[in-house]
Amino acid sequence: MILSKFVDELPIPPILKPRWKDQFHTYYEVNMTEFKQSLHSELNDTTVWGYEGSYPGPTIEVESGEKVFIKWINNLPDKHLLPVDYTVHGAHVDVPEVRTVVHVHGASVEWESDGYPEAWFTKGFKQVGPYFRKQIYRYDNYDRACTLWYHDHALGITRLNVYAGLAGFYLIRDHRERLLNLPSGKYDIPLMIQDKTFNKDGSLYYPKQPQKPVPELETSIVPEFIGDTILVNGKVWPYLKVEPRKYRFRLLNASNTRFYRLKLDSGQLFYQIGTDGGLMQHPIGVKEITLAPAERADVIIDFTNLEGKNIIMTNDAPAPFPTGDPPDENTGTVMQFRVTLPLSNIDTSVIPSYMGPLPKIKEQSASKIRYLTLNDNMDKYGREFMLLDNKQWDAPITENPKLGSTEIWYLINLTTATHPIHLHLIDFQILDRRDFDVEKFKKERIIQYTGPAIPPEPQERGWKDTVRANPNQVTRIIMKFGPYTGLYVWHCHILEHEDYEMMRPYIVIR
């Protein structure tokens, strides 16, 4: 069943209104419910989960330094919308089937409000996980202007909760960004890109078994999820009518597994102005942008003098990345821009030549270096399962950076896939990537490099919270831990890997 492309208009999620706001703090309530929504005009309405009755959830917009309190409320049914594998950590039959906890991805936040995977809660907070501490989360928003997103993070079912629709944008704005005169207001549009597969009746399809089924289990986790349909902001292959002027788009890959390598079929450039953690020092003009799951790119596209043109955003990233199949004409298409609206006023917005300093963290300032492996293992059912540093989630904590200290982490990828590695709490900088001899490392635990250090790609030269760790490479990142102490996590952001079991706690100590 192939749905027609570019028949539905791109939805733009509404900005969430606070319940209370004064000069000291802002208070929101966000309800999670199950509802039906039209994801394509040729499909029956699809049952999804969402925040505040919409998928994606409403955009939360805050000012840098604003004290924000959010009560995340679970009003979901007791039965999951999608097939649950009870053999996965944190999802055994001893816990309620539907659990939620919300993480604002990229936020600098106290650990009790970070959405720790075992801080889950059920409807009406009737049952809570062992690390649940509070009903109302606090966000101090000490970050510079940036594009963040919020999504579910419950241990063992994150892949299902996010796929069901629990994701939305969280934007931080600041004065410095406003002075740059970037495209703003209705010309600043977030784009959440995801892949899904639908059943004939319009319902969401999620596999019950991997390609090689596990006979002992009714439902088994799959090593990756690759959908056959691309959605932007919760619509299948939408179109957006634009004026012949500059627009700012905040691109987010919110897929479970799929990577995107985005291009415009007009051959024109994306002017990238920001990475995960905010604005870059200088904009760069690039023909293509690669986004692993959870990565963001802040770009300006200039439609000036393109009146009447239709421009398609395409994708040519293999799935799984980087060794899987190339996309077909469906998964190779993302959305369409139609330059059909009249110019409502003269475009005075700019692509600034300089956006502000971006001090490099010096390698000499690191007080600790950690060598951490990305591993592929087999479980007792013969299923692949992925680990960080070859340790399971429940193993004792081994990463305990000191508050205010700087560390370098060597991510040593021993698998055949690229893993987007995400650290909670902090932003880091990518130092370099370097080819090494995997077989020698597996035998002797020695890193023997087989090539020169490769600097980060131009599109990664900024603050990051998620990095692509490629196969046969050691990826080095540097970061300063703070401003909070406490319990956080780091994990692969391929959700099927994170759930099984490529996630580890870490603790920031005094």
Nearest-5° Cα angle at 375, 373 to 379 = 150
| Alpha-carbon span 121 to 132, nearest angstrom | 7
Side chain identity, residue 447: I
CATH fold of 363-508 reads: Immunoglobulin-like (2.60.40)
- Both structure tokens of 162: 């996010």
Residue closest to 116 by CA, chosen among 129, 127, 125, 106: 129
CATH: 1.10.10.10, 3.40.720.10, 2.60.40.420, 1.10.486.10. Which one for 20-174? Answer: 2.60.40.420
Contact 331, 230 (CB under 8 A): yes
Return the pLDDT at 354.
97
What is the spatial distance between Cα 81 and Cα 78, in angstroms, rounded to a whole number? 9
What CA–CA distances, in Å, run from 319 to 225, 237, 255? 9, 18, 12
Say if residues 191 and 252 touch (Cβ distance below 8 Å).
Answer: yes
Cis peptide before 458, with omega less than 30 degrees from 0? no
Structure-block tokens of residue 306:
């393109």
Bond from prior residue into 384 cis (ω within 30 degrees of 0): no
Say which CATH class 185-338 falls into. mainly beta
E-only strand ranges, 339-397: 368-378, 384-388
Q: Are strands 473-480 and 503-508 parallel, antiparallel or unpaired?
A: unpaired
Residue 361 near residue 461 (C-beta atoms within 8 A): no
User: Quick check: 8 and 41 in contact, CB under 8 A?
Assistant: yes
Q: How far apart are CA 223 and CA 381, in angstroms?
A: 13
Contacts of 298 (CB under 8 A, 6+ apart): 147, 248, 249, 250, 251, 272, 273, 274, 275, 279
Q: Is 175 exposed, middle or buried (0-12, 13-18, 19+ CB in 10 A)?
A: exposed
Alpha-carbon span 6 to 337, nearest angstrom: 9
**pLDDT, position 2:** 86
Q: How far apart are alpha carbons 84 and 203 in whole angstroms?
A: 16
- Alpha carbons within 13 A on the beta-carbon side of 319: 26
φ and ψ of 54, to 5 deg: -140, 145
Give the Cα-Cα-Cα angle 9, 62, 15 (nearest 5 degrees).
25
Element (H, E) at 159: helix 158-164
pLDDT per residue of the chain (510 residues) written in tens, 0 to 9: 789 999 999 999 999 999 999 999 999 999 999 999 999 999 999 999 999 999 999 999 999 999 999 999 999 999 999 999 999 999 999 999 999 999 999 999 999 999 999 999 999 999 999 999 999 999 999 999 999 999 999 999 999 999 999 999 999 999 999 999 999 999 999 999 999 999 999 999 999 999 999 999 999 999 999 999 999 999 999 999 999 999 999 999 999 999 999 999 999 999 999 999 999 999 999 999 999 999 999 999 999 999 999 999 999 999 999 999 999 999 999 999 999 999 999 999 999 999 999 999 999 999 999 999 999 999 999 999 999 999 999 999 999 999 999 999 999 999 999 999 999 999 999 999 999 999 999 999 999 999 999 999 999 999 999 999 999 999 999 999 999 999 999 999 999 999 999 999 999 999
Tokens of 81: 């919308």
Collapsing DSSP to helix, strand or coil, 199 comes out as coil
Contacts 24+ apart (CB under 8 A), 128-132: 129/95, 129/99, 129/101, 129/155, 131/487, 132/101
Q: Where are the domains of the chain?
A: 20-174, 185-338, 363-508
* CA 508 and chain centroid, separation: 23
pLDDT of amino acid 407: 98
- Nearest residue to 187 (alpha-carbon basis) of 146, 246, 240: 246
Separation between Cα atoms, residue 202 and residue 220, nearest integer Å:
23
Q: How many CA atoms lie within 13 A of 63 on its CB side?
A: 11
20-174 with 185-338: one CATH topology?
yes
Question: What is residue 116's predicted lDDT score, i.e. its pLDDT?
Answer: 98
Distance CA(505)–CA(510), nearest Å, equals: 17
